[in-house]
Chain A
């Protein structure tokens, strides 16, 4: 089982729709969580951190469920420009830090 798993998609939704996807992690010692977006052939860009209390930034909401070991990303009123691959990132701190990127969920917004 992968340490961080994401549904690869693609999710194909109409503009204006609300879309959500999850990311599960297996290491219960994980302490920090993030969402990145990556456009085709480009570098990943930090989208938002995921806090225990949840985090909202405009149309984007990220949540953490430690009990079930997953994080989620919700996008409301989706725009064409939201089309990208969304990567979840999980970090665990111990004697040496460990950072794991998910393989990404591909999102395509259609007009």
Chain B
């Protein structure tokens, strides 16, 4: 089954404790991206990647890092999480340039 898998689905952590949210897709997509969704603000792009070893900033990259060492994986790293990073995070992938064809099920992160 074609899918984008994020882990964990739910996470509560403390300020400053490094964390990684994993994202994996099994469709051999070149394009992958990360979003955060906040009430009233919609989805905002954090980072995206056009291919292996190619990553670019989206609209809200501050406080986040990503890497794309393999085509299937695109982890999101929060080196020092802060409460304003409490949000619902989605990973997405697609075949065509910049097409978010499939989204993962989301990761609800709470930073206290």
Contact = CB atoms under 8 A, between A and B. Distances in A.
Interface of A: 4, 32, 41-46, 87, 89, 91, 93, 96-104
B104 A43 contact: yes
18 contacts: A42-B105, A43-B103, A43-B105, A43-B106, A44-B43, A44-B100, A44-B103, A45-B103, A46-B101, A46-B102, A87-B43, A93-B98, A96-B56, A97-B56, A99-B45, A100-B59, A101-B43, A103-B41
B48 to A, nearest CB: 7
B90 A44 contact: yes
B44 interface: yes
Interface of B: 35, 40-45, 48, 56, 58-59, 90, 97-98, 100-106
Contacts of A104: 42
B86 to A, nearest CB: 16
Contacts of B106: 41-43
Contacts, number: 43
Q: Tell me whether chain A's interface is mostly helix, strand or loop, or mixed.
A: strand
A89 B100 CA distance: 10
Contacts of B103: 43-45
B98 A99 contact: yes
A91 B98 contact: yes
Closest 8 CB pairs of A and B: A43-B103, A103-B42, A101-B43, A101-B42, A97-B98, A44-B103, A43-B105, A43-B106
A100 B59 CA distance: 9
Nearest to B58: A99
Contacts of A99: 45, 58, 98, 100
A97 B48 contact: yes
B44 A101 contact: yes
Nearest to B6: A43
A83 B68 CA distance: 36
A93 B40 CA distance: 25
B101 A87 contact: no
Nearest to A2: B42
